[in-house]
Each structure stands twice: as C-alpha cells, then as structure tokens.
Chain A
Amino acid sequence: MAMYQIRDIDHFYGDTQVLSVEDIAIPSGSITGLAGPNGSGKSTFLKLLGFMEEPTYGEILFNGKKALPFSDKVRFKVTLLTQAPFLLHRSVFDNVSYGLKIRGDTRDIKNRVHESLEQVGLSPDSFARRRWSALSGGEAQRVALAARLVLKPEVLLLDEPTASVDAHSARLIREASLRAREEWGTTIVVATHDWQWLYETCDSVLHMLYGRIFNAGLGCAVYGPWRIGQRNLLQKELEDGQLLEAPKPEEEKQVAVLDPSRLKITLPGKDPLLKWNTNMLNGIVSRLFLEKNDEMVQVAIKVAELVITIRMLSEKVEVLKLYPGREVCISYNPQEIEWY
C-alpha cells in the first residue's frame, strides 16, 4: 500500500511557483531518494511530505486519506530532520525526550532516550547531560536524528542529513536510519547528494530540477550559455573546448538533460561506425559504483565540467575493462536531449 499518494500538487511562495509534482506514490516501508541540484525543490517537497506546509494546489494523501498540517492523522507519525542540525537550547537528554514529552509518553523515558542515543553512536553517559552548545556539527546532527528515532516514526524524512558532517557521522546516520526501516518498517524519504544513499540503499530515486520531478534517471543537467551552431542546433562549449549539441528548446526551458540510458560508451579508436546523427564526447571514467543488486554498475564519466553517470551491466563493464582514469568516448543523439 502507498504511504503517500501525491495528486498533482503545485506549490507557490508568493507569486513564485517552487514545486510542481504530478501523480506519484511512495510505497509504505520503502526508501525513496530525492536527487537534484540545490534549489531544485527537494526541501520544499520534503516539507510538504512532512505536512509542515499545505500545498497551494493539489493534495497529498497519507495512508489513503487527505492530511493537513497539525492534523492528528500525521502529527505523531511523520517526522522531518532538517538539513542544518537544529537543537533546542537544552541538554541532549531534553532534546531527545522532547517529542515523547509532548506526546505524554513518558513511560521508561530515560531508557528509551539512552537507547536512541546509542542507536546513533553516542554514549548516553557522556552525552545525555551535555548542553546543546557543547556538541560538534556531526554530534548535533546525530542528536537531532536520535530525537526523531526515539519516536519510532512511520515516516522519516531526511533533508541532506550527511551534507555537513564527517564520514564517520555520515555512516552512523545512515545506519541508524536504515535500522529504523528494518525494525519498525519506517518509510524513509531522503534528499541527498550522497551516492551511497541514493544508489546503494534507496529503492527508487526521484530526480528533481526546477521544482519538477523528471524521469531521466541519472540525467545529467547541462546549463547555458548556448550559442546557435550548425544544422539549426544549439551548441554548448565545454571547458575543454568540446562541443555539446542540442536541438532548440521550447520557450522558457533552460536546462538540457542528457538521458544516460540513451548514451553509449566505447573505447577510443574502437568505436563502431558512427551513425550520421550521432555525436561524440571524450571523457575519463571517474568512478565505478556497484548497485545493491550486484548486477548493475554505475559508471561516472567526467567530460570537462560535466559528470555523466551511466548504468551498465557488470559484465559489460568487465568486457570494456573500465576503471577510474580510463579514457572513453560517449556517443549521443542531439535530438534525444530533453529540455526542462
């Protein structure tokens, strides 16, 4: 069953539209990743999913029923961890126990708070009495997460939880969040730039750009300026002088997105004959990433300032003998580039 059903929402701040999402369902107990550049609407989308704000138009169904901010249907079930670790100006214990106290659920509160602190890798003996101001950024983020986990939420929304913490804290935050799904079946929606979050642990990834979700998979966004080139195509000159061509967009569309599923990787000098309508870009493999099903590998290729990520079968990676640092060619059809 779907935990969330989003029905054609449009959200505005003043006269500015910041989000437009058509019908999407988020299954119960799933982990959904939100990817996209800063300002693409991820945080706003999370606030709407957390019922912190009401969408200007459209509706969000929670467990099949329409819910609004402060409604009892969602208030104690959904929790959001904001990007900047914000703690109340109280001790760590009081921060973690706040949610339980306002629920009137103070049974065995000390042990539950301590358990929650341990879950995020903080020793209760050292941290419970500490003041909020005596914590590092990573510790503060983990305390903030503990304050959510102690509530055993049905939905945990995470807004770039590892963006401003060290690798150790990032790992602990990820593990603690995943344990919530394992133990209580918590549905997790996470906005992150962290590849491991997105492609190793998420069941699905929604890509956002300009407040819209688009289905270009791992689409690589290319921003202007563009100039008019040959064959009535637009040209983008990359930092190393290579030219990327794209058809002219409809009005008001500014970002070209390369759909990686339509790209082909070949080795330099070993590429088959190019079709008349295919262009070529030269790049270097920067990273290989094995997805959690072990069948697919994500190959990140750096082409000048762009990073294009292509999913391939692991056998194909072996055949091409791809490794970080290897030079490759990427062929694409300009007519298949989409504009957003």
Chain B
Amino acid sequence: MDFIQEGFIQAITLLINRDPATFSSISATLRASGLALAASLLLGIPLGYLLGYFDFRLKKQIRTIVDTLLALPTVLIGLVLYAFLTRKGPLGEAGLLFSIPGIAIGQAILSLPIIISLTATAVEAVDRNLHLTLMSLGANRRQIAMSTLWEVRLGILAAAVTGAGRVLTEVGISLMVGGNIKWHTRTITTAIALETSKGEFGTGIALGLVLLLIALTVNITLAGLRRRV
C-alpha cells in the first residue's frame, strides 16, 4: 500500500516542480473539457428549455430518448466517432481524429444529454405562476423565455457542474478519439490508464489527485457563482 502514500507525495512534487508532461496533460484535459462543456451548454440549454417548457407531440418519447442517452457508454461514443473521423470515414477530411477538438466533440456528445435533461427538469419544475406573473407585468414572449431561463439559473448551474464532472473524468473517448499522444492529446485520464498499465501506480494516483484538484477548483468556482446569483 506504499504506492498510495507515494502517490500523494509524487502529486505534490509534480505540481510544485511544474512537471512538463503533467502540465501538458492538464492543459489537454482543460482544453478538451472546456470546449466540450461550452458546446454542450450552448446547444443543451436551449434544447432543454424547449423540451421542458413546451408541450408537443412526441415530447414524452423524446424525453425518454434523452434520459436513455444519459447512460451512453463513453467507449461507444469513442468507437462511433472514431469511425466517422477516421480517414475512410464520412468526416475524415476534417482531420479531427487524434486532436483536441476531436476529443471535445465526443465529450460534447457525452454531456449534451445531461445538460438537456437537467435543464428540462429545472424548467418543468418552475412554478406555474411564473408565466402568469411575467405576463401580468407586461413581458412579451421573448422576455418571458429569457426571464424563465434566469429563474432556473441554479438548475442550469447544477447541469453544468454535472456535465463538467462527466467530461473531466471520462477516459473512453479521450483514448479512442485522442489516441493518447504525449504532448498532444494525452489527457489526465488517459495518462492514468497508461501509467497504471505500466505498473506505475504512484504516478497514476498522483495524476488522479491532480484531476480531483481540478474538479474541486471547478466546483468551488461554480459554487461561488451560485452564491452570487
């Protein structure tokens, strides 16, 4: 069990010494996850709002599909995306395989159902008097939509936190679409997988602790934001 203690010490050493390989992994993780989260929020919030706010035909069926996609395995996303992005695939020309944007696309697919589902749930839970109140104060349809979104901001923040947690910690997509290329697409999770396979448990644990530290920083930032709004 010494390797756990060793991992703690190594994590601190890696960070203090600004280990280039570790910082390259941190950078790749943050760039891929940041892009993925931004894209899934941009798409997911309006779609979640539409799904939660309006009643339309097939709404229940669409909701069931979205909720099912919450359990989408990362390796399946990685596999399908690999097939699309490989040179022989339909999107091969884009040159996104083994790149950070490629990983980000896969992670966006992973977190999109989370953002849609949790936003829709937050919008559905809105007090029905909100619409009446906004209308009675003179709001038009656009103002009602924007004010409703603002009213469910804490629910959307919760969706963002959950989505961030999912994309930061996934390994299947990063490994298959990113290719785990050192200095280029090696993220923290793929680095952990590699180090563990090499028997370097201490380094693996050190990187795991770094990942937890990043997750903690993201959550503290969002919690601060939550208190302010």
Q: Using CB atoms and an 8 Å cutoff, list the residues of chain A in contact with chain B.
A: 47, 50, 52, 69-70, 75-76, 78-82, 84, 86, 88-89, 98-99, 102-103, 144, 147-148, 151, 157
Asked whether B135 lies within 8 Å of A88 as measured between CB atoms, the reply is no
Interface: B141 (CB within 8 A): yes
B55 interfacial by beta-carbon distance below 8 Å: no
Q: Find out whether the CB atom of B147 lies under 8 angstroms from the CB atom of A88.
A: yes
A79 to B127 Cα, complex, angstroms: 19
Please report the total number of B residues contacting A with Cβ < 8 Å.
15
A-B CB contact pairs (8 Å), 14 listed: A52-B132, A70-B141, A78-B136, A79-B136, A79-B138, A80-B132, A82-B132, A86-B130, A88-B151, A98-B137, A99-B137, A102-B140, A102-B143, A151-B137
Measured between beta carbons, the chain A residues less than 8 angstroms from B137 are 79, 98-99, 102, 147-148, 151
Contact A103-B138, Cβ < 8 Å, known A88-B147, A89-B151:
yes
Nearest-CB distance from A3 to chain B (Å)? 17
Q: Is B133 an interface residue (CB 8 A)?
A: yes
Q: Which residues of B contact A52 (CB under 8 A)?
A: 132, 135-136
Nearest A-chain residue to B152, judged by Cβ: A89
B residues adjacent to A (C-beta < 8 A) = 127, 129-130, 132-133, 135-141, 143, 147, 151
- Interface SS majority for chain B: helix
Contacts of A98 in B (CB 8 A): 137, 147
Tell me, in angstroms, the Cα distance from A147 to B136 when the chains sit together: 10
Distance, CA A144 to CA B139, complexed state (A): 15
For the complex formed, measure the closest distance between the CB of B83 and the CB atoms of chain A, giving whole angstroms.
Answer: 45
Cβ-defined contact, B136 with A70, below 8 A: no
Q: Please give me the 8 A-B residue pairs with the lowest Cβ-Cβ distance, nearest first.
A: A86-B129, A99-B137, A80-B136, A76-B138, A86-B133, A79-B136, A75-B138, A102-B143
CB distance from B97 to the nearest CB of A (A): 45
Distance in angstroms between the alpha carbons of A50 and B129 in the assembled complex? 14
Interface contact A70-B151, CB-CB below 8 Å = no
Q: Are the C-beta atoms of B138 and A102 separated by less than 8 Å? A: yes
Smallest CB–CB gap between A147 and chain B, Å? Answer: 7
Contacts of B132 in A (CB 8 A): 47, 52, 80, 82, 86
The interface residues of chain B lying within 8 Å CB-to-CB of A144 are: 133
Q: Are A148 and B136 in contact (CB under 8 A)?
A: yes
Residue of A nearest to B143 (CB): A102
Residue of B nearest to A74 (CB): B138
A6 to B128, CA, bound (A): 27
In angstroms, Cα B133 to Cα A47, docked, is 11
Please give me the residue from chain A that is nearest to B129 by CB atom: A86
- With both chains docked as a complex, state the minimum distance between the C-beta of A308 and any C-beta of chain B, in angstroms: 35
